[in-house]
Amino acid sequence: MSTIDAPERATPAVPGPAPRILLIQAPYYDGVVSGMRRGAERVLAEAGAELEVVDVAGAFELPAALRLALKKGGWDGYLLHGCVVKGETDHYQFICEAVCQGVMDISSETGVPLGFGLLTVESLDQAEARSADDRHNKGAEAAIALLTQVALARNWGVR
């Protein structure tokens, strides 16, 4: 773990009714992604949000699943959780770049409130440290980012 301490971030207040959130998760590394989900669930519960969870096969499927969810509609925001651990081949680089670019394209095209929690790590130990039940949990951080975007959209009367 880095010597830099994660900042304390409060759960943002979201005006209006309880936000409906869809978590699309790629539980290939189930223990890691489950830890991220628990972190997000704590934050979302504090905000009074309703959470629905769906699984996809792997990180590569996250952008396509997000597009499908946007076509279906009905959620105020979307969380994406997954983990890619670097191996001995170029696969890691290709997957990370493709997923990040796919999500960024959707985000910039649609402006949809989005929390992006894709761990891209050198080792499973690093992933476990970032999904632990503490203030370094990246699932919780992604949920805070998402709620901030939902609040911004509502304050600006968007959606």
116 is in an annotated binding site: yes
Residue 38 known to bind ligand = no
40 in Cβ contact with 142 (< 8 Å): yes
Annotated binding residue 122: no
Is 100 labelled as part of a ligand binding site?
A: no
Q: Is 50 annotated as a binding residue?
A: no
Identify whether 136 is a catalytic site residue.
no
Q: Cβ neighbours of residue 86 under 8 Å, at least 6 residues apart?
A: 92, 120, 121, 122, 123
83 assigned ligand-binding residue: yes
Tell me whether residue 94 is annotated as binding: no
Rounded to whole angstroms, the Cα distance separating 27 from 42 reads: 19
Ramachandran region of residue 119, left (φ > 0), alpha (ψ -120 to 50) or beta? beta
Q: What is the DSSP string of 96-152?
A: HHHHHHHHHHHHHHH---EEEEEEEESSHHHHHHTSSSSTT-HHHHHHHHHHHHHHH
Catalytic residue among 16, 18, 91, 124: 91
State yes or no: 28 annotated in a binding site: yes
> Dihedral of the CA atoms 83, 89, 93, 98 (nearest 10)?
-80
Task: Determine if residue 20 is labeled as part of a ligand binding site.
Answer: no
Q: Annotated binding residues for (2S)-2-hydroxy-3-oxobutyl phosphate, as ranges? A: 88-89, 130
- Show which residues are catalytic: 91
Q: Annotated binding residues, as ranges? A: 28, 59-61, 83-85, 88-89, 116, 130
Q: Annotated binding residues for 5-amino-6-(D-ribitylamino)uracil, as ranges? A: 28, 59-61, 83-85, 116
